[in-house]
Each structure stands twice: as structure tokens, then as C-alpha cells.
Amino acid sequence: WNHACNLRIGLLGGWRDRPLTPSHLTPDEQYTHVSLWCLWGSPMIIGTPIERLDPFTLSLLSNDEVIEVNQDPLGKQGRRIEAAGGEAVVKPLEDGSKAVGLFNPTDAPSAVTVRWGDLGLSGPQKVRDLWRQRDLGVHADGFSTEVRPHGVVLVRLVPAPARKKADTPRNSANQSASLMSPGLIEQRSISEPGRVGPAERGDTPRLGVPSSTRATRPCWCGRRACKAAPDCRPSSIRGPITSCRSPCSCPARRPSATAAEMAAVAVLCAHGPAPAAIGQDRADDAQMVLVPAGAFTMGSPGKALDEDAAERPVHQVSLPAFYIDKHEVTNARYARFLNAVRQTEHEAGHEYVGLDAYLQLERVGGQWQAKKGKGRFPMGNVTWYGAAAYARWAGKRLPTEAEWEKAARGDDARKFPWGNTMEFGKFRLGIDRLSPVGKLPAGASPYGCLNMADNVWEWTSSRFKPYPYVAADGREDPRFDERRVARGGSWSGEPYIAHASYRLRPCPSFRHYYLGFRCAKSAP
């Protein structure tokens, strides 16, 4: 039993009169830390206030594919092997596959390479990135990837099926995968300056998605029980979803679809068939502001202490005109939605909200209502599915992350909604309580949106993918249960994540008191 002591992540200290302080490890070092514990089969023990875990730390502790390596029934400890450009640890797993960590102990990016022969393997191997939960293709005789300083790329190797003689493996060790970021939530820790965390923080680690559910993912229409032809499954859609027999009537997938159209599809499919009662009144009466058409600057250089590598490169994005809610959706409005649809999850099994102590709603006489004094507070503890379902009910959609960022920073490339300097009188971050929506009007964005740097993180329709932002590259595709981008910081975070280009990357099924949303719709 290889006991390597407690994980040094999250908030540490707190003994007697010592204050709680963030881990001194950088986000990349925390990825390395957890990866080593999993490969060594060490007990995953943490000593930190669970109720105060930030999204980055949560992602480190809840990536199901990474945890499976630690919990593998074979119980074999990993061993060091030869690796050009760095170090590597390989761990055999019960199903015959191998988990391999490629580590870079230096202070500069390095290409790390392992050969199948050094791992006791022969023949082509399928490679899967476990932190990003992304397949990296079939590699013939080895694998090479660029690894960040003090960072790791953690992969799983599975023998590839035999190929015909005319076929050749798609990759070899000489064809490297560029994986500068190991994580899947955000590359900066909310608990420490420099970045938020592991969601992919590029792609982010998955939160709360048991491996046993992967084989039963719902079809694009959002229905797990849909009796559709094979081309309606998320992994094999090739064209219009005409064969899907779900009553939600999924629209055709067109290469020319705009970001707004794809976001609307995401909203439609996330909810599934609409209860008849919804049609009575879909308007939520929320005030919206117009964001005019045109180009804006998206992203940041990613070099300052408060900037993340996932925010670069800086690039120009042109958008059509759209409307976006002036305020975040409130508890009172969300209660009205729940009373209309009469359900807290749809038939695909995705819950809308967390029915726990963090929910600021209660049922009285069979009807949902905001708890006393909480009606004007932003709705939190809501999943991406719950946010998308509300938007559909309201006749709207979730904003794309490009739309959200433009609404927050305008077209003059400002860093914060109000300007280029951090002014604490214009936002409330790191303060241990929420505020009613609309507070601190001095912190308004150029178009009049409020609370875009505090209160709660806000879901967008977009899957997390590296920049530059291109709506047609699949990031607005609703078919995948992959991490979605959330924007805007929260009351429980740190000031350094208040800038408008910061990207959080939670799993769509994740919900917490600091995670809410606002809606958008295309302008006529």
C-alpha cells in the first residue's frame, strides 16, 4: 500500500490560529500531484473544507477516468520508465490497458516521448487523454506530446484492433500531439492566482459522470430512450436527424449553421419534449439589452498573473446583433419555470438543479417559490441542462461564450466590464454572500449588463475548445455531454478571475451555489 500522504490541494492550514491558505502548487503541479497519486495507487486523502472547494479543485477530485486509475481493482503500483524529454510512470490496469503519465520536471515546455517497447507493449495502441477525456488516435510504436513546465499528460493505452494490410496506423511517436494543458476545467485555480483549474481549463476534467453511464448517452434529441436509427446517436450523426423519432424534432445539422442557430439547437435538445403546460406563458419578462452587430476583441494575451493560457490567442470575432438579459436569472423566475414544467429533470436523466441545502427555492403547497428574501437573488445550483431548459421555456437560448464576452467588454477590448482597472466598488468577488441582481450599477458593461464580474458564474452554450473561437468547429454542437464554458466569476471566487475573458469549464451536469446563468436571443 503506497501511502504518499495527503493531497496538497485546495485550502490548507486552519490549525489553531493559522489561517486557511491556497495550495502553494501551481495548477500544472496540482495536475502532476494528483496524477502521481493515481498512478502510485495512493489513498486519495484531502484535508480541506469540502464546502469551500473551488471549481478547479473539484475538477481535480472528480474526473471519473482519472479516479478509475487510482481505484483500479488490479491494485498494481506504477513504475518509472525511460522517457525522452522528461519522465514517465506506467501502471497496468485490470482490463489489460495501461495508464501512463508523461511528466515534465523542467521549467520550460518539453516534448516527452515514450516507446511501446519500453512499456512492454507491441503493435498499435489507442491513446486517450484522461484529464481532457479526449481520444488522441492510434499510434504505431510510441507516443510523443509537448508537456507544460512541471506538468503532466496522463493517457490510457488500449491495443488497437487489427487493421487490414492496406491500412496503417494514423499516428506514430514522430507525430506528436500538442497538449500544452493537462486539465479539463480551467487552467487557473480559483484558490490561487495564476489560473483556475483543470477543466481543460482547456478541456476540463469531467465532474460527476459515472463511467457506467457512458454507453447509454442520449441521442442528440436529448432522449436516452429514443428509438432512433443509428445515425441519431451522438457518435455517428452524419446529416439531418430525420430518422429520430423523438417528438422534440431535432433540426438538421448544417455546416453553415450560425453560432446562434447551434445554441438554439442546444437549448432545444437539452430539454427534450416540452410539456404541454409550457406553451401557456413562456415569457419571463426579463429586461434585455441590445448588443449591436460587429467585431470585438476576444481573449487575452494570457501573460499577466490574472490571465489564463486558455484565453489566448487574442483574436477578432464578428457577431450579428443579439439581445442578452440585463440581469442574471433570479430565483423567483426559475421557480416560475419549475412550476410550469412540473419537473426538475428531463427524461434523459439530466437534473436541472441540485435539490440540496444550496438551493434557494422551496416547495410550499406543491408549488416552487424562492425562499424568504431570496426572490431577487441570482439562481444558483443549476446545471447546464437546467439553464438550457429554462432558456427554451422563456423563448430564448443560452448565449455563446463569444456573445457573453462581447456583452461584457464591448468592442474596445477593455479588461473588465467597466474599464481596464480593478475597482472593488464596482463588483463583489471573494465576499462570502450573494447580492440581489442589479446591485453596483457602476460596474455595468458598455451595453448595460450588470453583475458580469461577480455574483455567480454564468453558463454559456459553448463547449470548451481552444481558441480562436470558431462557431462552426463544433463548439456550439449540442450533441456532446462535454464541458461547457461558464463566464463571469462568482462571489465565492478571487478578484483575479473577474476579467471578462476568463473561461471556466465545468461539466454540464455540474451544479453549485456559485453557478447560474442569463439568457440571450438573436436580434430580428
Query: What residue has cell string 440540496?
Result: 356
Nearest to 242, CA basis, from 221, 259, 272: 221
**Residue 313: how many other CB atoms lie within 10 Å:** 12
345: exposed, middle or buried (Cβ count in 10 Å: 0-12, 13-18, 19+):
middle
Between the alpha carbon of residue 382 and those of residues 13, 241, 335, 360, 456, the distances in Å are 31, 29, 12, 11, 11
My answer on whether 177 and 239 are in the same domain is no
Query: What residue has cell string 498573473?
Result: 305
My answer on whether 273 and 328 are in the same domain is yes
Question: Cβ neighbours of residue 95 under 8 Å, at least 6 residues apart?
Answer: none
State how far the Cα of 145 lies from the Cα of 111, in Å rounded to an integer.
5
My answer on whether 388 and 456 are in the same domain is yes
Phi, psi (degrees; rounded to nearest 5) at 30: -70, -35
Per the CB < 8 A criterion, the answer to whether 379 and 334 are in contact is yes
Query: What residue has cell string 451595453?
Result: 447
CA 106 from chain center: how many Å?
28
The grid coordinates listed for 435 are 447580492
My answer on whether 273 and 235 are in the same domain is no
**Residue 366: how many other CB atoms lie within 10 Å:** 7
Task: Report strand pairing: 177-178 vs 142-147.
Answer: parallel
State how far the Cα of 468 lies from the Cα of 466, in Å rounded to an integer.
6
| DSSP at 64 | H
My answer on whether 377 and 425 are in the same domain is yes
Boundary-marking domain end, from 210, 241, 276: 210
E-state strands within 206-283:
none
State how far the Cα of 284 lies from the Cα of 193, in Å rounded to an integer.
38
Report how many domains make up the chain: 3
Phi, psi (degrees; rounded to nearest 5) at 87: -130, 160
Residue-wise pLDDT tens for the chain (524 aa)?
A: 444 567 777 767 655 455 666 777 788 888 998 999 899 888 877 777 777 777 777 888 888 899 999 999 898 889 998 899 999 999 999 888 999 999 999 989 999 999 999 998 989 999 999 998 889 999 999 999 999 999 999 999 999 886 654 444 445 444 444 443 343 333 222 222 233 333 333 333 333 333 333 333 333 333 333 333 233 333 222 233 222 333 333 333 333 444 444 444 443 343 333 332 222 334 688 999 999 999 999 999 866 666 778 898 999 999 999 999 999 999 999 999 999 999 888 766 789 998 888 899 999 999 999 999 999 999 999 999 999 999 999 999 999 999 999 999 999 999 999 999 988 788 876 555 688 999 889 999 999 999 999 899 999 999 999 999 999 998 998 777 788 999 998 877 767 678 899 998 888 988 888 899 999 999 99
The grid coordinates listed for 177 are 500531439
My answer on whether 78 and 149 are in the same domain is yes
My answer on whether 282 and 191 are in the same domain is no
SS3 384: helix
Boundary-marking domain end, from 253, 275, 307: 253
The residue type found at 146 is E
pLDDT digits 0-9 by tens, 31-45: 998 999 899 888 877
State how far the Cα of 470 lies from the Cα of 255, in Å rounded to an integer.
12
Full residue range of the structural domain in which residue 232 is found? 219-253
The grid coordinates listed for 293 are 452587430
Task: Report strand pairing: 294-298 vs 315-319.
Answer: antiparallel
My answer on whether 169 and 238 are in the same domain is no
Per the CB < 8 A criterion, the answer to whether 154 and 181 are in contact is no
SS3 143: strand
Residue 179, domain CATH: 2.60.40.1180
**Residue 524: how many other CB atoms lie within 10 Å:** 5
My answer on whether 339 and 229 are in the same domain is no
State how far the Cα of 37 lies from the Cα of 44, in Å rounded to an integer.
7
My answer on whether 302 and 449 are in the same domain is yes
Average pLDDT, the chain: 76
Phi, psi (degrees; rounded to nearest 5) at 270: -70, -25
My answer on whether 355 and 245 are in the same domain is no
Q: Please, what is the end-to-end C-alpha distance for the chain in angstroms?
A: 64
State how far the Cα of 116 lies from the Cα of 144, in Å rounded to an integer.
11
Residue 480, domain CATH: 3.90.1580.10
My answer on whether 191 and 300 are in the same domain is no
